[in-house]
Structure 1
Amino acid sequence: MTPAWHEEAIARHHDRKAFDCGDQDLNNFLRHSARQSHDRGGAKTFLAIGDSDGSILGFYSVAPAELAYARTPEVVRRGLAKHAVPGFRLARLAVHVDVQKKGLGGQLLLAAGRRCLRTAAEVGGVVLLIDAKSPPAASWYAGFGAVALEDAPLTLMLPLETIEISLRAAEKL
């Protein structure tokens, strides 16, 4: 069962050193780079904070992005001008080893999607680009409807429309 959690933007007071997702690169990003990037206008990082103890259960980082029109699958680019397709990039998503395989990753993906949908309503955007860190991670994202780009199998594309449908079905929008 997924532990109860709430979302907070990364801040100095969060205990990032205690976080371990099992991937040293992701741990190091959270510990050493995420807050600085967030504070300086780079990728924004949001944390899943456990309601019971205030620990970091997981996180995701998002930033504005675009995808070349020619690289965009037809289903997404249909009806758009033949210019770069606007969207967002899910640069990182990780879950603490103690709560992996309990649904938190999917909840974080939807939380990131909800944030992107709200922003897209103001500034535009039709796609969430995902930088998977490994083939198994890419397969996990594909389970949510993400499609790998033909020329970059670890870069996946998830239409914001797909995220919106999932959020409405879960009554989270």
Structure 2
Amino acid sequence: MLTEDTLVNIENWNPGRHDHSGFDCGVGRLNNFLKLSAKKQQKDDMSRVYVAVEPEESMILGYHAINVGTMNVAELARRPRGTPSHGEVPVLFLGQVAVDQMAQGLGVGSLLTHHVFEKACVIAEEAGCHAVLLDVMSDGDPEAFVRRKGWYEEFGFQSFASNEARMFMTIRQVRRIV
């Protein structure tokens, strides 16, 4: 049985090793990404998927998907210190964070998000990354959207003025967390 004390590893997703057949986070779109799209996206170098698993186990407790891109600084309501005044800046895009219902509330989502921050710091050192960017999933349930957005705000993510579902955190902020 999972508890907050259960040891969890974050590993690069290997569809041949990690069992996603029973994964259910409660959001069909996120379940379907893992079951139907993630393998092809990873194979085509469109994103990288990382999974949370117990050591020596194959059942996926949660996952996140990341890829790189750019963002136009004109989209920001206010320009954080160190951000250029115009143009595009490199970002790490956090596509999804999903946790199986049996592991929700045990810190797996926080562990996955912290892993994203660690990856962002490595990318910033190796190739440049100004911010982590994400879109809060809207699945037609306004209360769930507010909960998800609030969860990301607890880490320090801020919404874009033009789109409340789009959020960002500068790499400077990320480094303070890591």
Same fold (TM over 0.5): yes
**Which residue is 1:5 aligned to?**
8
Q: Deviations over 1:33-64 (max 9, x none)?
A: 01110111101111111126331111000011
Please report how far the alpha carbon of residue 81 of structure 1 lies from its aligned counterpart in structure 2 after TM superposition.
5.8
The structure 2 residue matched to 1:158, chosen from 166, 169, 174, is 169
Q: Deviations over 1:94-135 (max 9, x none)?
A: 011111111111111110111121011111011000111123
Percentage of matched positions with identical amino acids: 22
CA distance in 2, matches of 1:3, 1:34: 26
Pairing 1:48–2:52 present: yes
**Which residue is 1:149 aligned to?**
160
1:84-103 maps to which residues of 2 (within 5 A)?
Answer: 84-103=88-107
Question: Which TM-score applies when normalising by structure 1?
Answer: 0.89
Unpaired runs of 5+ in structure 2? Answer: 138-144
Please report how far the alpha carbon of residue 91 of structure 1 lies from its aligned counterpart in structure 2 after TM superposition.
0.6
Pairing 1:106–2:110 present: yes
The one-letter amino acid of 2:93's match is: R
1:40-79 maps to which residues of 2 (within 5 A)?
Answer: 40-51=44-55, 53-72=57-76, 73-76=78-81, 78=82
CA distance in 2, matches of 1:2, 1:131: 30
CA distance in 2, matches of 1:118, 1:109: 15
Please report how far the alpha carbon of residue 65 of structure 1 lies from its aligned counterpart in structure 2 after TM superposition.
1.8
Preserved CA contact (<8 Å) 1:146 1:158: yes
Question: Which TM-score applies when normalising by structure 2?
Answer: 0.87
Preserved CA contact (<8 Å) 2:72 2:86: no
Q: Kindly tell me the number of residue pairs found equivalent between the two proteins.
A: 166
Preserved CA contact (<8 Å) 1:38 1:44: yes
Please report how far the alpha carbon of residue 147 of structure 1 lies from its aligned counterpart in structure 2 after TM superposition.
0.2
The one-letter amino acid of 1:87's match is: V
Pairing 1:139–2:142 present: no
Please report how far the alpha carbon of residue 2 of structure 1 lies from its aligned counterpart in structure 2 after TM superposition.
4.8
User: Over aligned residue pairs, what C-alpha RMSD do you find?
Assistant: 1.5
Unpaired runs of 5+ in structure 1? Answer: 168-173
**Which residue is 1:171 aligned to?**
none
Preserved CA contact (<8 Å) 1:4 1:52: no
- Displaced runs of 4 or more, over 4 A: none
CA distance in 1, matches of 2:113, 2:8: 14
